[in-house]
Structure 1
Amino acid sequence: MSSGLLNTAPRPLRVLMIEDYEEDALLLQRHLGRSGFRVDALRIETAEALGHALSGDREWDLIIADYTLPGFGAREALELMQQRGIDVPFIIVSGTIDEVSAVNAMRAGAHDYVLKGHLERLIPAIERELHDAEKRRERLRTERELQLLQQRFSATFNQAAVGMAHTTTDGRFVLVNQRLSELLGVPVDRMLALNLKDFILPSERDADKELYAELVEGRRTGYRSERNLMRHDGSVFPAQLTVSLLLHGSVGHDVTESSVLWVVEDISARKAAERETSELMQRLINSERLAAAGRMANTLAHEINNPLEALTNIFYLLDKESLTLAGQELIAIAARELDRVGHITRSTLSFYRKMPGRTLDLQTLLTEVVQLFQSRATQHQIHMDSFYGPGIDQTGYDPALRQVFANLVGNALEAMETSGGRIRIRARIRDGHAVVTVSDTGHGIDGANLQTVFEPFFTTKGERGTGLGLWVTRGIVEEQGGTLQLRSATRGKYRGTIVRITLPAAGVREPAVLVN
């Protein structure tokens, strides 16, 4: 007796019976019911009926078929099921099948066969095949789920906005997504023959050596770093690398393998924004430093102006006294120098507020500057020569330009104090503009500094320089509506520096060109 008889909760069983004798079908249903099944059965006799039964809404748990029916039998039924790809336990129950036919039927796809005179084998066969069928369905479900997961992984991996790759622990690429291929400029299929180290700058390849060793040894699950990566064409871009360790194991095995997941993000835009922020902060700091310097200069100008006024009055009174010619000449020189110092203080005061003042022609301004530095030039064996074209003495400019020319000549002298040389000062009227050039044969300005010499607080003179000279110089020139150009070389025949200042010369007639 089957153990199924003791089951108090009958199990549902949907059975499709291929049987031409209704009595045999009823006996099979009775046998199944007594074995603990609640049978839902349908008997058919033809291939057409089998086709309708297999294509209907009902799902069958089991097919029981007689081996031979008039014009139809188990072999034809199995062929039809295989054509439709149906996997349902198929058991032959027949009173006439011989062993050879049974074996051939099993090879054709039948799961088992039972003789009608020995139905005690039927229930164990059904139990076994139902169990095996459930395992096959579970395996199919698992395979479908794995396929779906693979599809989702593939879609996520290949359509990610950041570069992603799986590598071996020694860095060889195993799997690469499209974004990383684009970032590095190498097709995906060619990437698999390369190593991640091939794209890291040689100077940075060992930067994360200790972190990576801890990752591979399992002492950390991941880390993040910023490195410069090199594309296939040699260009370099900053990237953020997120590195994680992946462990792979097989069910029932102790052996595990590991790989490394790399997430590569191009952070060029972020770095550019950081540089802009840094530059903005530096400009703000410089602005504050300039404001502080201006306030200090303003205070000093006020403090100096009062004693200067007293000295000017004293020299004025001395000039009225009876003095020798030499004394009178010294008083005149001192008065001129005091007047120049007073002009400097007034110019400093006008740094923040424009003060109306007299105008001077370029020739006078340049001559005063040459006289001021002449003795210093002679002392250092530096020859100064000047040339002023027609009309230069008819111009009129703010005396603040004196500071411009003094800064330029002073810089030229400092460039030649240890070697001697020549300073040339030229001024002429051309195309409605006054053009002044100051050139020297000094050591020149290094090309790397040419773009920054006009920035505030930039200096190559160490503690001797404030870094404000050329910045103030250009500011005064631009305030007068002019432009300043600088050219310099540190070697060769034309070593030295040339500064050209172009100023509007409204109302000054350009000298005519004489033609013989």
Structure 2
Amino acid sequence: MTNRRSTYFIFQALLTIVLLLFFLYRRELVMQWPVRLITLSVVMGALLIFLATAPQAWLQRPLVQGTWFLCDVLLSSITLYWAQQPGSDLYVTYFLVILGTALTENIVHSFLVALVATLLYGYSAASSAQGIPKDPEFWLRLPYLWIFASFTAMLTRDTREKRQAQEDTYKERLFHMERLAALGQISAEVAHRIKAPLTTIRVNAEVLARRHDLPPEMQGELEQIQQEVDHCKSILQKLLDLGRIEEMDRQEMNLGDSIRSALDTLQPQLTRRRIELRTEGLEKTARATGDSILIAEAMVAVLQNAADAMPEGGTLRVVLREAGKAPWWSFRRTSENFYEIVVEDNGAGIEPAHLETIFRPFFTTKTGQGSGLGLSAALRILDKHGGTINASSGGPGRGACFTLFIPKAKT
């Protein structure tokens, strides 16, 4: 069974246990109406069998879902009626069924179940009182059903919107990953073809710059040509690195070693920029399967981004730990089978609108510097390892946090 089918089945099993236990608790009912107990057991069992065997497409139909919950309300009302105790604690099963409608993420189901529950509960109470019930608790319980239905509807709406937002983010991320993969496949050939002409341009510009008979303004222009050529060659090298991502050398590794290697690479830059480095958990053994060199390169890209966000100094925090389990409604691939590497800075921060676009190839907010390929390459590396990267920020001036998720090595 799928996760959603299993959730439906568990919910129905719990409701079945509650109703049967209540009926069995009233021994006089069992002795007086054994047929009713058998009928209730058969119907509840049939619902369980349906949820366990019905095609997945059926369980996704609103009509089937609504009918299922209405059957639960009807069975709860029948049990109350047979017990002749409309004021008993079994009344809470209505709340259980209404809460269960949140599983279908359909707001209409919550109010429909509340309406049917109100009518059936009122009929049961009126039959027991042989007229209009005079118990004040009865008249208080009716609005409670609608208040709870409204609460469930809001919960359903928020959950559905959150799932939709996460699904949209996941699809957009997948689209950019496909673009990045295509870019990596063609980049190596393009880079090799362009690198040779660029080298020729730079050598000729350097030779011309050594001439003493050139005017000063031309000397400056030749130096600018050399700088721009170097910048282009840097971008080409990153494109070559993108192509190399497709060729992984998979083996068991310790993530702490890759992180320390990346930190050693950037340590002189961090010292020069007066950035305080704080680490946590790097001394622990964190076994993963993949390419340790590529993981180190992904870390360098993320750490470099954090360092660039703190040109006047700051604090850089790097944490290696086991990831917590994601909630059932989440589309994240994180779970207890992953490690997470947290890279947090107190630098310039990120605009909310840029939290996803920063992973797009060639996107950069660094005027005059940066190729816009570092974070996109890091995301591609993590994706090839079965992981991902999440970015968060409190906004401009409030720092940023990048969390890298990498699967644990299978034992």
Bigger RCO (CA 8 Å, 6+ sep): 2
Pair in the same fold by TM > 0.5: no
In terms of fraction of residues, the more helix-rich structure is: 2
TM-score of Structure 1 vs Structure 2, range by shorter chain: 0.3 to 0.5
Larger Rg belongs to: 1
**Normalising by structure 1, what TM-score?**
0.31
